[in-house]
Amino acid sequence: MSQHMPQSGHDVHTHAHGHGPQGHVHATGFKGWLQELFVPHSHDAADSIDTAMEASSQGVRAVKFSLLGLGATSMFQLVIVLASGSVALLADTVHNFSDALTAVPLWIAFLLGRRATTRTYTYGFGRAEDLAGLFIVAMIALSAVVAAVESIRRFFEPQPVQNLGWVLVAGIVGFAGNELVAIYRIRVGRKIGSAALVADGIHARTDGFTSLAVVGGVIGIWLGFPLADPIVGLLISAAIAVLLWGTVRDIGRRLMDGVDPALTDQLTALVENVAPEGTSSRLRWSGHRLHVEISVPLTGAEPLGQLAQLTDSLEQAVHQAMRNVGLVTVVPRFA
């Protein structure tokens, strides 16, 4: 069937209005704090972006800021690595470099997402953003391997760590730089509905805490425990591996058209309040836009005006209740 009802003369709306809650359930206490820290989300309707072009522009600005911020942080840390020989700081620096480089494929993906649909890519190029997530996964994995190998080597070939004060400063700078980038990435990612950008923000936040681990290694050496440096390097590698699993899960779900079950429940409840019994619905992400398809059962005896009114009511309800909505397709299904 064609989109909407062709008899009604209406076209499918592709507004990207973003309103209303997403149906999340908040955890409380310490668990809730951790969840909000590493898996943040927003219920604020004002966070949404009203056009796909503006969303892409904000995404591009976010990755530019990330590239400059983390690039500068990594270069500063690299200078301290060369002067000190700290393997823990080396592991943190490698990870920060990899994190900075993840901005490049995201930048390309946001630019591709602006392109108009073609006869080959009839749904546009939003999937490029999800594919960029695969590059992020590869960079995280590579940084974990490099950090682990170098840390293990230092157990067998120990080297003194010099300029401990500067290593301490580099760890603190690494934390501050990553946290600033994380805040910005996550805030923009929430606004435009980009799972890849939010995941990259969580990646940066985790990097910030690994930088604090470098500070712990310095304190351990000051207390007379020189193996603290390679041990911290291994702990950083383990932290990166944990992050890798979560990122693989999130990106893989997007590529398999998976969505948060809370969104599915929200759409189902919304449709039940507007459409006749037996109406079904489904949704999927394409980049940072959420596409919705609603199948309405018909007998064939409904007036054309009634069908058109139902279509408009469903579209309006979806756009008002859900954020980052792209294409809404209402399909009649004749019994």
One fold for 6-17+260-334 and 43-255: no
pLDDT of 269 > 80? The answer is yes
Q: What is the phi/psi pair of residue 214, to 5°? A: -60, -40
pLDDT of 225: 82
* 223-249: average pLDDT: 78
pLDDT of 253 > 60? The answer is yes
pLDDT of 162: 74
What does the pLDDT look like over 281-295, one tens digit per residue?
998 888 778 889 998
pLDDT of 29: 54
Residues 6+ apart with CB under 8 A from 134: 251, 255
Q: What is the phi/psi pair of residue 325, to 5°? A: -80, 130
Which amino acid, one-letter code, is at 175?
F
What does the pLDDT look like over 118-177, one tens digit per residue?
888 887 888 887 888 788 778 777 777 877 787 787 777 766 667 788 888 888 888 888
The domains of the chain are located at 6-17+260-334, 43-255
Helix (H) or strand (E) holding 332, with range, is: strand 325-334
> What fold is seen in the domain 6-17+260-334?
Alpha-Beta Plaits (3.30.70)
Which amino acid, one-letter code, is at 213?
A
pLDDT of 156: 78
Q: Are 55 and 134 in contact (CB under 8 A)?
A: no
Handedness of CA 218, 168, 236, 94 (dihedral sign): negative
What does the pLDDT look like over 90-113, one tens digit per residue?
877 887 787 777 778 888 888 887
Which residue has better confidence, 209 or 105? 105
What does the pLDDT look like over 11-30, one tens digit per residue?
333 333 434 334 444 455 54
pLDDT of 65 > 70? The answer is yes
> What fold is seen in the domain 43-255?
Alpha-lytic protease prodomain-like (1.20.1510)
Can you say whether residue 240 is alpha, beta or left, with left for phi > 0 and alpha for psi between -120 and 50 degrees? alpha
Q: Out of 47-56, 199-208, 237-246, which region has the weakest mean confidence (pLDDT)?
A: 47-56
Distance of alpha carbon 55 from alpha carbon 191, whole angstroms: 8
Q: Out of 43-47, 122-126, 248-252, which region has the weakest mean confidence (pLDDT)?
A: 43-47
